[in-house]
Amino acid sequence: MLIFIITFARTGGMILCETIGQHPEILTLNEVANWRERIKEGKNAVIKLWIRDMFHPIKKTDIFNQFPDAKFISVNRNPRDLSASLKALQEVGRPAKNFLTHVNVHKHNIWIEGAVQYKEFLNWRKTHENNPNLMVINFNDLILKKHETFKKIFKWIGLEITDEISNYINKFISNQPIKNYPGQASSMSRKTKVGNYKEILTEDEIKIIDFKFSNL
């Protein structure tokens, strides 16, 4: 069984992948460049993709078509919170190229460019919303209702949550900053808690985000 984590930057995809991958029967491939070479027939694997690996607009191919029998998990995050998280990254000097599909930092700030690309991502995913193998969860639930959310995820996958996974969830998923995340996941700022976008975005920036997502 292959489980693909289909998420935009700063929506919890990495920690989601790493948590599911704590199951002893699942191989974790978290943004691994050669993941196609690592998966084996008959084996379970959870794969967190780079966003550029999910779909190719020119070739008209995407991961859903390439692996029709796989399971896909995606996450919705409030655009205000996502933009605030990206702006916090910019404030601490993290390079935008690590988080977006393409970047022209001389033209836009990360937060607005990220919002535009997040909307493009949601429009692409919307074309697969009727796929029975796609599960979409909310970022707020992933953080604030973590045990309930992972219980639903593992039931959908068809595997049991082990004590090790429950302990992992308690230790590494929180609405507070965590300095020592495992693997590649990270919590960049104490300000980027759920719903704390007003501490980072100005009123004008919030209006711009709301306008861009008003017709989604």
**Which is higher by pLDDT, 166 or 177?**
166
63-91 tens-digit pLDDT: 898 999 999 999 999 999 988 888 887 77
What is the rounded average pLDDT of the residues 30-59? 82
131-159 tens-digit pLDDT: 999 999 999 999 999 999 999 999 999 99
Question: What is the per-residue pLDDT for 186?
Answer: 56
Res. 179: pLDDT tops 60: yes
pLDDT over 90 for what percent of the chain? 43
How many degrees, rounded to 5, is the angle at CA 173 between CA 100 and CA 99? Answer: 5
Which are the contacts of 15, defined by CB distance < 8 A and separation ≥ 6? 172, 173, 181, 185
Res. 56: pLDDT tops 90: no
Contact (CB, 8 A) for 189 and 88: yes
Token reading at 57: 């607009």
What is the per-residue DSSP string for 54-87?
TEETTTTEEHHHH-TTSEEEEEE--HHHHHHHHH
Res. 202: pLDDT tops 80: yes
Provide the pLDDT confidence category of residue 93 given band limits of 50, 70 and 90: low
d(CA 18, CA 29): 9
Any idea which residue has 């390079």 for tokens? 95
pLDDT over 70 for what percent of the chain? 81
Question: What is the per-residue pLDDT for 109?
Answer: 73
Question: What is the per-residue pLDDT for 213?
Answer: 83
Res. 106: pLDDT tops 50: no
Question: What is the per-residue pLDDT for 94?
Answer: 62
What is the rounded average pLDDT of the residues 32-59? 81
Res. 130: pLDDT tops 80: yes
pTM (2 d.p.): 0.87
What is the rounded average pLDDT of the residues 111-139? 90
All domains in the chain, ordered by first residue: 2-212 (3.40.50.300)
Q: Of 65-69, 141-145, 187-191, 212-216, give the lowest mean pLDDT range.
A: 187-191
**Which residue type, as a one-letter code, is found at position 11?**
T
